[in-house]
Amino acid sequence: MPTLIVFALVGLAAQLVDGALGMAYGVTSTSLLIFAGINPATASASVHLAEVGTTLASGASHWRFGNVDWKLVLKLGVPGAIGAFLGATLLSALSTENAAPYMSGILLALGVYVLLRFSVRPPRVATARTSPHGARFLSPLGLVAGFVDASGGGWGPVSTPALLGAGRTAPRTVVGSVSASEFLVALAASVGFLVGLGHEVLDPSTIGGLLIGGVLAAPLAAWLVTRIPAPVLGSAVGGVIILTNARTLLRAADASGPVTAGVYVVILALWALAIGVAVTRLRRSRTEGAASPAEAEQPVSTG
């Protein structure tokens, strides 16, 4: 029971982040499971099996709040499912010793991307409630994002910033549609892991805990998508991902105590700096937004 509760809390926290940012459920939960010493392939398989339920709940919640473009879901999710199945099959073939540094390296890179994306270059804001993108753009994006996702949770970190960065679709629609399409990706990845690993290596407490926590958090996360300051949350989550996976890489490299401590100090300093930048940018944008109406009411000088 204590193990189930711990994993339920992990799933709840990861789903709150994922539902608000459109990313980081897999990256966050997989990083924490590897940090706890679980086999990388088993960790990713457990997360994806839990995501079959959490993404279904998340997609339904986003649909209820009007955040889903179903054409975008299909154009992105079907290629994503193909990529996820191929990625899961490849990861299942790797040994535990080889897989741990490989997965942590990918997860750390995704953490750096999330951190920089939300602190230095926040996504542009658009208002269109349907995506104008066609299969030529969405199919390769879904294929790559699905393949990376099987390695530890790259569906959101790859697809969400790409769609937001194009600046042609409302953020709430991007987040909701990416979350809904992730059901197809999680289902395909789960099939790939079950084919490659079998069901014997999977722990029901891990999967059940992640599933319970994620399902409970899904409705709240869908509501928070229009309320929470994404730059600050994204920066905070990016730092957590970097820190947890840096530990795995340092242990794999047999780094000495002083080297490990020095790396942690640098990561914490840069993490604090990134959050500070995100908070400053957020305050500045709110100040400018509040000043604009007042400036518009000023009489125009005719010289």
Instruction: Using pLDDT thresholds of 50, 70 and 90, give the confidence band for residue 297.
Output: very low
CB atoms within 10 A of CB 1: 6
CA distances from 11 to 67, 203, 207, 215 (A): 22, 15, 9, 8
pLDDT in tens, 219-242: 776 666 556 566 776 677 677 778
Whether 138 maps to a domain, the answer reads yes
Q: 55 near 221, Cβ under 8 Å?
A: no
Q: 108 near 183, Cβ under 8 Å?
A: no
| DSSP string computed for 214-256 | HHHHHHHHHHHTTTS-HHHHHHHHHHHHHHHHHHHHHHHTT--
Number of domains into which the chain is organized: 1
Distance, in Å, from the CA atom of 45 to the CA atom of 287, rounded to the nearest integer, reads 45
The verdict on pTM exceeding 0.75 is: no
- Residue span of the structural domain in which 260 resides: 2-289
| Mean pLDDT score, 40-57 | 77
Whether 233 maps to a domain, the answer reads yes
pLDDT in tens, 100-140: 677 677 767 777 877 777 777 665 555 556 666 777 888 89
Whether 14 maps to a domain, the answer reads yes
Phi, psi of 172 (to 5 degrees): -65, -35
| Mean pLDDT score, 270-283 | 83
Whether 294 maps to a domain, the answer reads no
